[in-house]
A and B are shown apart, each in its own frame.
Chain A
Amino acid sequence: MNRVLPVLTVIGVIVVLWYAAAVWMNRTWVYDQAARDGATVSFAEMVPATLNQERPVLPTPHQVVTELVKSTFGMKVTSKKSLVYHGWVTLSATLLGFAIGTGAGILLAVGIIHNRAMDLSVMPWAIASQTIPILAIAPMIIVVLNSIGVQGLVPKAIISAYLSFFPVVVGMVKGLRSPDAMQLDLLKTYNATGGEVFGKLRLPSSMPYLFASLKVGIAASLVGAIVGELPTGAVAGLGARLLSGSYYGQTVQIWAALFAAALVAAALVAIVGVIEGRVLKRMGMAR
């Protein structure tokens, strides 16, 4: 209960500020309309006219929520206007990309741990890959893959993986190196092989680090999937919804898609968090 009140307070303040901003930003259109008609509007007449415009500069919260609910629950999920449909298209690319990115990240981390040449060479490239704006490289990935006949889900998943492998590499390298000298010496006294050291000590020790990375990685995956939908003129997905919204000045649609993306991201992170809690508790490593 003592957590609910502050949260509600903050949400309340945001909503109030949002309505104020919506009135402020949308009033120009109301005044312009009135001037065109040769009429004048008072402040009391202006305010209601800013709250339910069809193409507002800034949609009001209730417009966004209404649109979100209508396009989520009010349509058949196969409809091209359904956010469930677009959300699923993006989510499937996100999950595939997350799987590829996590797998690649773990493999790279294992290589970095066990191979000195990789240790010295891979990390600078991994860091460099993340300094390139994803918006710049995404169209090229799509074009290149398209030229070899790969279309649809996979190119988006690759872009998604491109963003999500990095936190996994960084976290797993740290995690696989987390056992201290004493732990490693102990296994040495048993004449343990490198594989046994990895399987029995390094991998279990890295789990808290892996989950911390996965939480960052899955959110990055979603961003990657949405960005992958932007430059392609994609017909489906939250990214496509954002894009078509901006083409046709459908600001309400844009904001609804943004909120849908945020909710999906929050849900994904929460799911990883729940799995993290269960696994680490089971492993006696929960903090």
Chain B
Amino acid sequence: MAPVIEAKGLDLVFQTADGPVHALKDVNLTVGKGEFVSFIGPSGCGKTTFLRCVAALEHPTGGTLTVNGMTPDQARQARAYGYVFQAAGLYPWRTIAGNIRLPLEIMGFSKAEQAERVERVLELVELAGFGKKFPWQLSGGMQQRASIARALAFDADILLMDEPFGALDEIVRDRLNEELLKLWARTEKTIGFVTHSIPEAVYLSTKIVVMSPRPGRITDIIDSPLPKERPLDIRDSREFIEIAHRVREGLRAGHGDEV
């Protein structure tokens, strides 16, 4: 099967006032359809930058990157992905339904279809009945769910998530992780997920990409042996702890050459 995301020898150098910064160096990665890929690593390792390259928000300076077999720019034109940012970023002057309608309005869906899609994705993120509320009436976790619904509304195959739960407390985070897995199983999307948290990465992913900084590069790619069905207490299992250990080793190795 053709890969959904394929990066070969990807390089990205930012020209800054302090000289060039090597944000990504020789990144090679293949993501298949329906995979849940986490990117983990310390700040400056390029995990967010890589996601932004996939979304055509940054443009690589070397190597090749294809999304659904197209260039990232073409893929964006073809509405290949939905992007979830660290903050929910809902417009305070729009209701929850109005916020989810935003991409649909821009993409030119009919009024009837907008309404139908809003209902559907609200149900998908378990916010049915909250469409008429305003963002300030919802908790942080619910706001982030609404922003996920917004990214799902136009049926992109790929969901790119940049530390979406980073600003939430651990209890809310656990619940949203569980819900995200259910959502992923139901929608069969390909998900790219940036995180700082080792348990989060191991719990969610079928593939964990461990990265390290200066220059931003991949140090390890781990295919998770965990089953697709994952209750929260899988985190106490031996396999889970072993994978978490390997991720930690990978992160440490990445730091090794500068300490």
Residue positions of A touching B, CB distance < 8 A: 182-183, 185-192, 196, 200-201, 204, 282-285
Contacts and interface: CB of A to CB of B under 8 A. Distances in A.
Interface in B68-95: 76-77, 79, 81-83, 85-87, 89, 91-93
Nearest to A193: B106
A196 B106 contact: yes
Given A182-B85, A196-B106, A189 B92 contact: no
A186 B106 contact: no
A200 B102 contact: yes
* Count class of interface residues, chain B: 20 to 34
A116 B102 CA distance: 28
Report which residue of A186, A188, A189, A192 has the largest number of chain B beta carbons within 10 angstroms of its beta carbon. A189
A192 B92 contact: no
A190 B89 contact: no
Given A185-B85, A186-B89, A284 B55 contact: no
Contacts of B134: 284
Nearest to A188: B57
A185 B157 CA distance: 19
Contacts of A204: 91, 93
Contacts of B107: 190-191
Nearest to A185: B57
A283 B81 CA distance: 29
A207 to B, nearest CB: 8
Given A185-B57, A284-B135, A190 B103 contact: yes
A87 to B, nearest CB: 36
A285 B77 contact: no
Contacts of B14: none
A182 B89 contact: yes
Contacts of B136: 284
A192 B103 CA distance: 9
Given A182-B86, A189-B57, 9 more contacts: A185-B57, A188-B57, A189-B83, A190-B103, A190-B106, A190-B107, A191-B106, A192-B106, A200-B91
Contacts of A284: 92-93, 134-136
4 tightest A-B CB contacts, nearest first: A284-B92, A283-B93, A189-B83, A190-B106
Contact of A187 (B79, B86, B106, B135): B106
Contacts of B105: 200
A247 B64 CA distance: 82
A285 B102 contact: no
B93 A285 contact: yes
Contacts of B106: 187, 190-192, 196, 200
Contact of B77 (A186, A191, A283): A191
Interface string B111-141: 0000000000000000000000011100000
24 contacts: A182-B85, A182-B87, A182-B89, A185-B57, A185-B85, A186-B85, A186-B89, A187-B106, A189-B55, A189-B76, A189-B82, A190-B107, A191-B106, A191-B107, A196-B106, A200-B91, A204-B91, A283-B92, A283-B93, A284-B93, A284-B134, A284-B135, A285-B92, A285-B93
Contacts of B77: 191
Contacts of B82: 189
Contacts of A196: 106
A191 B76 contact: yes
A189 B93 contact: no
Nearest to A207: B93
B259 to A, nearest CB: 32
Contacts of B102: 190, 200
A5 to B, nearest CB: 35
Contacts of B83: 185-186, 189
Nearest to B103: A190
A285 B134 CA distance: 11
Nearest to B55: A189
Contacts of B135: 284
A122 B82 CA distance: 39
Contacts of B86: 182
Given A189-B83, A190-B106, A200-B106, A183 B57 contact: no
A182 B103 CA distance: 15
Contacts of A191: 76-77, 79, 106-107
Contacts of B85: 182, 185-186
A204 B89 CA distance: 14
A156 to B, nearest CB: 36
Report which residue of B76, B82, B83, B91 has the largest number of chain A beta carbons within 10 angstroms of its beta carbon. B91
Nearest to B95: A284
A210 to B, nearest CB: 13
Nearest to B92: A284
Contacts of A201: 91
Nearest to B86: A182
A185 B91 CA distance: 14
